[in-house]
């Protein structure tokens, strides 16, 4: 029986996985055209799985040298000689243990490099061996290198790229022997590596990898692709799931981020199904439960993301500004912070604006930033925790009571609303109050399509039920009526009859509290602070 996999490479015969054959066909076209390029994507984005599938697709027409720099220690990048020996050992391992077809003469040369004094070896000797191999090979040779991040900030690697570039130019200009294609896979943009090598050396400003073709192939998993994977699972397990609906939910939460897609499915299959029947696990409630479990765990992807922010405080502040203050930031890859946030997988472009890549990352980051705020305003999280049991009745949240108690707590702590108050402050405090109430049972996210400087929608998933709360600055009765109509239409999108509005009003003669309003067939509970 197959299983869902979130570690290392996915293998179709062993794992439930999205069919990536069309993606591989598009990449193969680039190889057929003789392109050199980099598959530059965030951690656990399916790069290794894609390279393995590409290797299989190319094996009929090409001799594929599929290597991973993960197998080279840091010492292997310290000098030219060390690198020549480490690279030679990688090829000899493929020859000895995996049956790679390497001519005897090339094997002899590689063994010679391994046995030699590394201080006397030069990179150009290794590259000349490649060129001789290319000349005598019956098939064009393609070089695939995974985990190139392991070579980051090493001058030897930059020099190696320069030799590959020289071979490419010689091939194009003079027909000289060179690899048919070179494909590098990793998180870090090769151009970004170059920027940190010998910054005082002016000639290093021009990247040795500027001959690389742009790689614009979408590697996220589509709703249709996820549905195909679920259909494969359903054929084995007969859960009765609504495949299009579940695929859509998973896509909405993850934006097709491969690790997150597989992890949700894996948790439903192995953990959520132990808490409820398998049929119930593959419903909206099961998906929400799996998302909650993901947000509670400290997996390797989250460790990598938060580690990047710890090591780059300026990136953390940029994300805080985008997320917590709702600022609309133009997507410009030439801006260093935006380029880095995109490279690490935090953000994406949405109609020319920066947007957090997916809802799970958004909630993860909100939790991270809110934890910082708890140190300043711990009373809100403490009050929510102390009153938690009052807010749940028959397994459902009493969102009206939550708003009432939040308003009372705010007035008690801060007094009347002041003009210096900003909408982001209200959102942070409301989430600080709400989070301990739903933690362990539900989760939340901020609807990015409605977040701006005047309106924010908080969507709470709690035991299979959804609760929509609009937070906004009060701007008069007319604006409020428009807001009521907007949230009524928004409730239609979610198939809900009841919604909530929390307005921050600076009028001196206001009456704080919560009232019930009927808007057509919808019921709104409107809170005023």
Residues 191 and 125 in one domain: yes
User: Strand 181-186 and strand 141-146: pairing?
Assistant: parallel
Supply the DSSP string of 41-97, one letter for each residue.
--TTSSHHHHHHHHHHHHTTTSEEEEEEGGGS-GGGGSSHHHHHHHHHHHHHHHHHH
Q: Which residues of the chain have pLDDT under 50?
A: 202-205, 452-453
Instruction: Say if residues 494 and 468 touch (Cβ distance below 8 Å).
Output: yes
H/E stretch holding 341: helix 336-343
Q: What are the residues facing 3 on neighbouring strands?
A: 15
Last residue of a domain, one of 274, 296, 318: 296
Last residue of a domain, one of 296, 326, 342: 296
Q: Tell me which DSSP letter residue 389 carries.
A: G
Supply the DSSP string of 401-432, one letter for each residue.
HHHHHHHHHHHHHH-SPPTT--HHHHHHHHHH
Domains identified in the chain, total number: 4
pTM as predicted: 0.88
Residues 443 and 473 in one domain: yes
Domain containing 137 — which CATH number?
Answer: 3.40.50.300
H/E stretch holding 336: helix 336-343
Burial class from Cβ neighbours inside 10 Å (0-12, 13-18, 19+) for residue 475 reads middle
How do residues 415-427 score in pLDDT, each as one tens digit?
Answer: 776 655 565 677 7
- Identify the CA nearest to 324 among candidates 484, 471, 437: 471
**Residue 340: C-alpha distances to residues 240, 246, 331 (Å):** 43, 32, 12
Q: Is residue 508 part of a domain?
A: yes
**How many Cβ atoms are within 10 Å of 224's Cβ, its own excluded?**
12
Report the distance separating Cα 193 and Cα 209, nearest Å.
11
Q: At what angle do helices 359-374 and 423-438 cross, to 10 degrees?
A: 100
Residues 331 and 442 in one domain: no
Q: Is residue 365 part of a domain?
A: no
Report the distance separating Cα 182 and Cα 160, nearest Å.
12
Residues 122 and 248 in one domain: no
Residues 309 and 348 in one domain: yes
Q: Is residue 308 part of a domain?
A: yes
**Residue 196: C-alpha distances to residues 121, 304, 307, 310 (Å):** 25, 21, 20, 19
Q: Is residue 474 part of a domain?
A: yes
Those residues with Cβ within 8 angstroms of residue 5's Cβ, 6 or more apart along the chain or in another chain = 11, 14, 15, 16, 17, 262, 266
Three-state SS for 439-498 is: CCCEEEEECHHHCCCCEEEEEEEECCEEEEEEEEECCCHHHHHHHHHHHHHHHHHHCCCE
Residues 138 and 40 in one domain: yes
Residues 403 and 308 in one domain: no
Q: Is residue 147 part of a domain?
A: yes
Paired tokens of 362? 């958004």
Q: Is residue 215 part of a domain?
A: no
**pLDDT at position 205:** 47
How do residues 259-301 score in pLDDT, each as one tens digit?
Answer: 999 999 999 999 999 999 999 999 999 999 999 999 999 999 9
Supply the DSSP string of 263-279, one letter for each residue.
HHHHHIIIIIHHHS-HH
User: Strand 141-146 and strand 63-68: pairing?
Assistant: parallel
Q: Is residue 213 part of a domain?
A: no
Paired tokens of 326? 């709702």
Residues 33 and 106 in one domain: yes
Report the distance separating Cα 391 and Cα 420, nearest Å.
31
Q: Is residue 6 part of a domain?
A: no
**pLDDT at position 378:** 64
- b or e along 376-400 (b: 16 or more beta carbons within 10 Å of the residue's beta carbon)? ebebbbebbeebeeebbeeeebbbb
Residues 81 and 201 in one domain: yes
**pLDDT at position 199:** 52
Residues 277 and 316 in one domain: no
What residue numbers bound the domain in which 338 lies? 300-356
Angle at 261 between CA 257 and CA 267, to 5 degrees: 145
3-state secondary structure of 147: coil
User: Strand 347-350 and strand 181-186: pairing?
Assistant: unpaired
Residues 415 and 454 in one domain: yes
Residues 282 and 332 in one domain: no
Paired tokens of 428? 């942070």
Instruction: Say if residues 23 and 219 touch (Cβ distance below 8 Å).
Output: yes
**Residue 1: C-alpha distances to residues 39, 83, 267 (Å):** 32, 42, 17
Last residue of a domain, one of 244, 270, 296: 296
């Amino acid at each position: 029986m197959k299983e869902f996999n979130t570690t290392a490479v996915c293998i179709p015969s062993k794992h439930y996985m999205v069919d990536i054959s069309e993606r591989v066909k598009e990449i193969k076209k680039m190889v057929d055209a003789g392109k050199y390029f980099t598959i530059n994507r965030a951690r656990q984005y399916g790069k290794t799985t894609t390279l393995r599938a590409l290797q299989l697709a190319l094996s009929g027409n090409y001799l594929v040298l599929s290597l991973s720099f993960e197998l080279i220690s840091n010492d292997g990048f310290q000098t030219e000689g060390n690198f020549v020996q480490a690279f030679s050992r990688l090829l000899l391992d493929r020859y000895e243990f995996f049956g790679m077809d390497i001519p005897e003469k090339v094997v002899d040369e590689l063994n010679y490099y391994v046995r030699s004094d590394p201080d006397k070896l030069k990179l150009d000797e290794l590259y000349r061996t490649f060129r001789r191999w290319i000349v005598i090979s019956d098939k064009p040779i393609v070089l695939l290198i995974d985990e190139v991040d392991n070579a980051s900030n090493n001058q030897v690697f930059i020099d190696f790229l320069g030799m590959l570039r020289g071979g490419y130019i010689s091939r194009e200009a003079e027909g000289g022997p060179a690899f048919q294609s070179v494909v590098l896979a990793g998180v870090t943009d090769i151009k970004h590596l170059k920027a940190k090598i010998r910054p005082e050396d002016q000639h290093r400003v021009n990247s040795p990898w500027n001959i690389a073709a742009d790689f614009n192939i979408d590697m996220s998993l589509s709703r249709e692709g996820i549905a195909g994977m679920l259909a494969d699972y359903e054929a084995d397990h007969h859960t009765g799931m609504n495949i299009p609906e579940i695929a859509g939910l998973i896509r909405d939460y993850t934006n097709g981020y491969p690790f997150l897609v597989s992890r949700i499915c894996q948790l439903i299959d192995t953990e959520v199904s132990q808490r409820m029947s398998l049929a119930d696990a593959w419903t909206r409630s099961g998906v929400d439960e799996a998302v909650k479990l993901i947000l509670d765990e400290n997996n390797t992807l989250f460790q990598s993301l938060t580690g990047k922010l710890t090591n780059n405080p300026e990136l953390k502040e940029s994300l805080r500004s985008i997320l917590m203050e709702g600022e609309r930031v133009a997507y410009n890859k030439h801006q260093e912070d935006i380029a880095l946030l995109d490279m690490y997988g935090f953000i994406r472009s949405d109609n020319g604006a920066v947007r957090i890549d997916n809802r799970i990352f958004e909630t993860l980051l909100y939790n991270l930033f809110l934890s910082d705020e708890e140190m300043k305003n711990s009373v809100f999280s403490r009050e929510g925790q102390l009153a938690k049991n009052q807010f749940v009745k028959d397994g459902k949240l009493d969102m009206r009571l939550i708003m009432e108690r939040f308003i009372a707590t705010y007035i008690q702590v801060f007094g009347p609303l002041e003009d210096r108050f900003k909408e982001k402050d209200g959102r942070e405090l409301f989430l600080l109050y709400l989070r301990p109430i739903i933690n362990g049972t539900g989760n939340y996210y901020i609807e990015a399509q409605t977040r701006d400087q005047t309106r924010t929608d908080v969507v709470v998933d709690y035991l299979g039920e959804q609760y929509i709360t609009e937070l906004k600055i009060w701007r008069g009765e007319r604006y409020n009526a428009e807001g009521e109509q907007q949230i009524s239409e928004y409730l239609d999108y979610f198939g809900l009859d009841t919604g909530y509005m929390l307005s921050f009003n600076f009028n001196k003669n206001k009456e704080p509290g919560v009232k019930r309003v009927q808007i057509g067939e919808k019921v709104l509970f409107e809170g005023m602070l």
